[in-house]
Amino acid sequence: MLTSVFLRTMQNFSGSFYSPRIMICCSMLYYMYSWSQEWLLNLNINKCQVVSFGRHIDNTCVYNVLDHNNCTIPLARVDKVKDLGVWFDEQLPFKEHMHDKINKACSMLGIIKRNFKYLTIRTFILLYKNMVPSPK
């Protein structure tokens, strides 16, 4: 079901139906669909989104998915997505992710300043290293 929608979308998008990349994508998509059906983990279509990465992005392409009633549902297109705690956006500069981490570090620094008035440098460093996560 998902594979046929993907094939039709890719055929309209690329024009060549049996290109190797399309067949690989379809087989991967079919494997994911089979795995989700076997483990009774259906995709929540309302949470599915489309994001494209790169310099030249074609936002005119619409991706559709069939639901359990065989109704076509267009997937929402977003310009940024958070995956495993990292923000990814279309151009991949990671500005949103860095801004988020800097805000968290500054807020923890503010908590330390408000709650601990008289600190030695050693104690402050110990608190800061334990409360503010360091990049790894």
| Lowest-pLDDT choice from 39-43, 67-71, 114-118 | 67-71
pTM for this model (two decimals):
0.47
In sequence order, what E strands does 11-114 have?
49-50, 64-66, 72-74, 76-77, 80-83, 86-89
Distance CA 130, CA 136 (A): 14
CA-to-CA separations, 97 to 56, 72, 103, 126, in angstroms, rounded: 22, 33, 10, 25
Q: What percent of the chain has pLDDT over 70?
A: 80
DSSP single-letter state for residue 75:
P
Give the range among 31-35, 39-43, 64-68, 116-120 with minimum mean pLDDT.
64-68
- The token pair that represents 37 in the structure block: 């059906």
Write down the pLDDT at residue 26.
66
